[in-house]
Every structure is written in C-alpha cells, then in structure tokens.
Amino acid sequence: MPQLQALNKSLIIFLTLSSVFFAAPILAEEAPYPPRSIKGLFELDLFTQVLTRRVVEEPNPGENFEADADSTRVLARLGIKPVKPLELYVQAGTANLNIDDFNDYRGDFSFAYGGGLKLTIYEQPGFNRFRLALSGDILTYTTNDTVLTNLGLAKEEIEWTEYTAVGAGTWRAQNWEPYIGLRFSWLDSTDNIKDPINRKLDLRADSNVGIMAGTNVFLDPRENVALNLEATLIDQASFKIGLKLWY
C-alpha cells in the first residue's frame, strides 16, 4: 500500500507537470534575452528528493522476499563543463533508508556521495532548440539500525549503491525548459545482519526501467538561477525539487 500511494502521488505530479510543459509555450510572453548555449563553467544543483522503490532480497536459495524501500535525500551537486557537449559532476549530502518489511528497518541519515557525467549528442539551433543528452550517475551510502529478528536483537547495516543511465530530450518554452526521457537503474547493494548467525544478503531492484519528466523554470532574465522539478515512475516513484545556479 505505501508503494501504491507513492505511485499515485508521483503519477499526479507527472501528469500535472506534463500539462504545464505543453501549456507553457502558449501562455508565456517573449523572453527578453536569448538562452545561452553554455550558462557558465560551473553548475550548482541543491535539491531534496523523496522516493519509493520495490526491492528484492534472497534470504534463502530460491526464496525471494520483496519489500518497499523509502529514502529521503538532501544533496548538493557540483558540475563543470570543460567543453560544450560534456558535463562532469560530483554530488554529496545525506540520505536515509526505511524498509518496513525488513523488521521495521529505520536506517539513520548518513553521508551519501557519488558523481556522473552528461553528454549532449544533438542540439538544434535557435531559441526553441531541442537537445538530446545521455547521462550516467552513481550514488552510494550506508545506513544502520537495530532490529528485532527471530533470533533476538540484531545490528543491521544496508550498503546502498544505485546506478542510473538516462536518455532525455529537452526543449524550450520561453523561460521554461521541460525535459522527458527514459531511465535505466539498478542496485548493487548488500544487507548485513549481525545476529547470532551473521548473514550478508544481496539486495536488488524489482524493476530497472522507468520514465522521468521535469523542468527548469528560470527565475532571472540571464538564466543564472532556476527552480528544478522532476518526477520518475515505474522503476521508482520519486519527486525532486531543487535550485540550480550557473556561474
């Protein structure tokens, strides 16, 4: 039920954003400045994200146990554009992990870090230009909790590492910059349970393919500051809100 509720919320957000994206070109006024092809050498992205995704664990050979994993992240991402089509970035912040069906596991907020790259493979000239980009991302963190198992109290540690590859198209709608795309994500994670019988279990994602949609809303004529909204569905149900700065 928590996954269904999160999925319904993300679907509403996704549909709302989609309707706004297509209405923006009709409702927007003329922009006072043309968009810059490179807004700056550096891009700073400050954001928070909430997500739910279905995970699968194999406690015994041939036995799969499914559960919903919830996470809240607060991250800062710093990117650099050494050349026009390429952006490299690092990210760091804090994240937690809750899995109710894993003995009410409540992983505390811990240090999260990672990085990635983005490559623009096509760009149409002009103000309403269309861009197609490919990106890859990694995020890793470790959370801990004390849980009650059939053998008594146990220390449980989940090492969570996720990889994401995205292909997305971006276009212009005056001061809006909507984008939509396909994503492929997978987990390389382990669940370490330290009770009288120490166990190390693999944790993987139930679904790997999803869709995403978002937009940058520029808050100044020179496009140095933008509000970013993004939602994902299928592989995970998530919503992200943040602030982007170029300098």
How far from 202 is each of 14, 22, 49, 53, CA to CA, in Å? 32, 42, 25, 16
Q: Residue type at 242?
A: G
Reference 177, options 135, 228, 212; nearest CA is 228
233 Cβ contact list (under 8 Å, min separation 6): 7, 10, 11, 14, 210, 211, 212
Is the pLDDT score of 35 beyond 80? Answer: no
**What pTM, to 2 d.p., does this model score?**
0.82
Is the pLDDT score of 88 beyond 70? Answer: yes
Please tell me the predicted confidence (pLDDT) of residue 33. Answer: 47
**pLDDT (tens digit per residue) in 1-24:** 544 554 455 555 555 544 444 444
Distance (Å, whole) CA 183 – CA 235: 8
Mean pLDDT of 145-164: 89
Q: What is the dihedral of CA 225, 10, 213, 76, to 10 degrees?
A: 40
Find out whether 213 and 18 touch, Cβ atoms under 8 Å.
yes
**pLDDT (tens digit per residue) in 99-115:** 999 889 999 999 999 99
* Residue 124 φ/ψ, nearest 5 degrees: -85, 135
Strand 237-246 versus strand 131-149 pairing type: unpaired
Distance (Å, whole) CA 137 – CA 148: 35
Question: Over the range 50-64, which residues count as b (16 or more CB within 10 Å of their CB) and which as e?
Answer: bbbbebebeeeeeee
Point out the least confidently predicted range of 11-15, 27-31, 213-217, 219-223.
27-31
Find out whether 133 and 170 touch, Cβ atoms under 8 Å.
yes
Average pLDDT, rounded, for the chain: 86
